[in-house]
Structure 1
Amino acid sequence: MPAPWEAILGFALLIYDHILTFTDEVQYIWKAKKSPVVVMFLLNRYITPIVLAIDIYDKGGIAPNIPRKFCVTWYFMEAFWYIISFGIVHALVAMRVRISIVDDDTRTHHAGAQVAAIWGRPRWIVILLVVLWLTYFCTTFGILLASLFTKAHTLHYEPLLKLCYLSIAPFLWACWVPPLILEVILFTLSCLQAFQAGKFTSQTPVVYVLFRDGALHFIVIFSCSIFNMVTWIAAPPTLVALAKYFGIAMVNVMISRLVLNLRSCQGESMLAYAPSSGRGPSAIQVHISVDEVELEGPAWKSKPGIPEDQDHTEADRKEARAYGLEV
C-alpha cells in the first residue's frame, strides 16, 4: 500500500524542515512576545509531526495488534486535528502585513482620499475574512463529521495488513471544496496587493517575501487539495490516502516558511517607503512588527499637538485592543 510510504515521506519532510529552520524558529518565534500567531504556529508545527508519527504506527502495517477502541478513538482524533491544522494554516494565510498608500510629498498619514488601506484592518476586511474563514471551517467540519459517523461502523483492525481499516464515505471528497474556494479568494486579494505594490517589491523586502511566499503557498495547497480531491473521487479505496499525508506535510512546511521568512525580513519594527510610481502622488508604505505577522489597522489622521508617529502608534494600539490582538 502507498499510504504508509506517503506518511513516512511526509513525516521525514517535516522533521527535515524543522532541523533546517529551528534556529530561525528560536530567534523569531520563541524570543517573540506571545501572540495568536505564535501560538497557532507552535501548535501546528509540533502537533502535526506527532499525529503523523502515530499514523505511521496505526496505518503502516507494523503494529502486531491494535484494539478496535484505539482504532475508533484515533480515527476521530486524527480527522479532527487535520481539520484544525488546515484551519490554522488558512487563518495564518489571512493574517498579513499592512500595505497602504501614503502621500509621497508629505510622508504623513491621512484619513482622507490620500490614504487607501488595501490590505489593512478596516472593519469590512476583518468582517469579510472572519465570515469566509468561519464558513469554510464549519462547512468542512460538517462534511467531515457526516463522513466519520457514516462509516465509523466499518472501522476494524485488519490482521492481514496489520492496520486499522475502514471504508471511505463517497462524498468525503467534498471537504476539499471549501478550502479551495477560500484559498482562491485569499490569493485574489494578495494579487490585488501585488498589482498595487508593482515594481516597489524589490525595494521593500517584506512585500517581496509576502507575495513570493504567498504565491508559493497557494500553488502548493491548491495542487495538494486538487490531487486529494481527484484521488478520493476516481482512485480505488486502497489509494485514497495517496497524497493525504504528503499534502499535510507540504502545507505545514509552506506556512512555517511563510511566517519565518516574513519575520526574518525585519527587526523589532520596520517602516519602509518606496518612491512614487509616477502614476500619482502615492507610494507604498509597509509596516510590520516582528511580534505580529497579521493584519494591522488603517492609517489615522494626526491629532493637533501630537506628533504624527506617536498618534499613529496610539491609534494602532487602540484598534489592536478592540480586536483583542494587542501583545
Structure 2
Amino acid sequence: MADSSDLAKAILEVQQVNYCSLSSIAFLIWDVCITFGDEVNYIWRQSNRSPIKYLFLFTRYFSVVGQMIFFLRSLGFFWTPPIPRAICQAWFIAQSLWTALLIIAVELIFGIRVYALYQSSRWIRNLLLFVFACDFLVVFITFAVMIPKFQYYDNCFPFTKTSDFGFLRIMTVTPISVQTVLILLTLVKAIPSIRNATHKTPLVLVVARDGTWAYLLISVFILFNGFFYDVLSLLPRSLILSWFMTVLSFSSCRLILNIAKLGDRETTANLDHEHFPEFTSDLQMGELHEMESTVNRDAPLGSPDTPNGVPSDVEEISASPHLELQESV
C-alpha cells in the first residue's frame, strides 16, 4: 500500500509539473500573439545595426524555444528516470546557461536604457562596462568551479549537499546586484526629470516606471529561487523555473515596446514641427541635444522672430518639457 501511495503521489507531482510548464508556455505564446503587431511595427523595421532589435528577438523567441524543450523533457520525451549522472550534468548546464543568457540579455536592455538616459556619458559607459565585466567573470568562474561537483537526484534535480547551495547563492546575488545598480542609476536620473516635467506622460517616466516593475518582478523570482530552493518541493521548484523564463521574456519585451509606442505617439503629435527627428525604439541618443546646440549656436543674433534674437522654433525646442527625455532615450 505504501508503494502504491508513493507511486500515485509521484505521478500526481509529475502531472502538476507538466501543467505548470504548459501554463507558462501558453502565457508566453499568448503574449507573443497579442504584441506581434507591435513587434512588426516597432522592431522589425529597425535598423539591422540596432542592438535593441536583436535583444528583443533573442529574449522573446529564445525563451519560447527553451520553454518548449523543457516541457518536452518533463513529458519524458528525451529520457525517463533514472537518468545517468553525465546526462543530468549536461542537462543542468544547458538549463542554467539558457537562463543565464536570458538574464544577461535583460540586463543589457536595462544597461542600454541607462546609457541613453545619461546621454551617452563616458563615465556611465565605463561604469556599465565594469559592472557587466564583473558579472560575466563571476558567472563564468562559478560555472567552471562548482558545477562539476554537483550530485543529482534521479529526476536530475541537483543540490543534494549543503555545500552545493553556494552556486545558487552566487547566481542569486550577482544578477540582483547588477540590476539594483542599473535601477538606481535610472531612478537617480529620472526622478528630477519627472518632477520638472509638465507633460502627462514624459518619456523618462515610462523608462523609470517600466524599469521599476520589471526589476521587482524579476528580483522576486530570483530571490525566491535562490534562498528558498532547498526547502521547496518539486512542484514549486518547477513552477519557479518554468515561469521565470516567461517573466524574463515578458518583462524585456514590454521594456522595449512601451517606449516604442510612446515615442511613436510623440512623433505623431509633433509631425507639424520640422525640427523633430523621427523617434524610433532603437534608442537613438543625443539627436535633439545636438540639434538644439547647433541651432542655438548658428542662430543670427538679430533675428526678428523673437525679442531676444532667437528664432521662435528654437525657443519652442528649448521650452519643450520633452527635450531632455527624448534626447536621452
Indicate whether the TM-score tops 0.5: yes
| 1:324 paired residue number | none
| 1:262 paired residue number | 259
Deviation at 1:242, TM superposition (A): 4.1
| 1:211 paired residue number | 208
> How many residues were matched structurally?
271
CA 1:6/1:171 → structure 2, altered by over 3 Å: closer, same or farther?
farther
State the Cα deviation string for residues 174-195 of structure 1 (Å, max 9, x = none): 2110111111111111211232
* RMSD, aligned CA: 3.5
- SS of equivalent residue, structure 2 residue 22: helix
Whether 2:180 is the aligned partner of 1:184: answer yes
Whether 2:140 is the aligned partner of 1:141: answer yes
Q: 2:165 aligns with which of 153, 170, 185?
A: 170
CA 1:187/1:261 → structure 2, altered by over 3 Å: closer, same or farther?
same
| 2:64 paired residue number | 49
Whether 2:238 is the aligned partner of 1:224: answer no
Distance 1:19 1:52 in 2: 16
Deviation at 1:77, TM superposition (A): 2.3
Greater fraction of residues in helix: 2
Q: Structure 2: which 5+ runs fail to align? A: 1-12, 271-275, 301-329
Distance 2:21 2:299 in 1: 56
- Highest CA radius of gyration, 1 or 2? 2
Distance 2:21 2:209 in 1: 28
Letter in 1 for 2:36: F
Deviation at 1:155, TM superposition (A): 5.0
Distance 1:295 1:304 in 2: 19
Distance 1:141 1:155 in 2: 21
Identity of aligned residues (%): 21
Letter in 2 for 1:124: W
CA 1:236/1:65 → structure 2, altered by over 3 Å: closer, same or farther?
closer
Alignment of 1:295-306 (within 5 A): 299=289, 301-302=293-294
Q: So what's the TM-score if we normalise by structure 1?
A: 0.70
Distance 1:31 1:172 in 2: 41
Q: 2:283 aligns with which of 269, 293, 297?
A: 293
Distance 1:265 1:139 in 2: 37
Deviation at 1:291, TM superposition (A): 4.6
Whether 2:6 is the aligned partner of 1:10: answer no
Deviation at 1:93, TM superposition (A): 1.1
| 2:273 paired residue number | none
| 1:81 paired residue number | 98
Q: Is the 8 A contact 2:114 2:186 kept in 1?
A: no
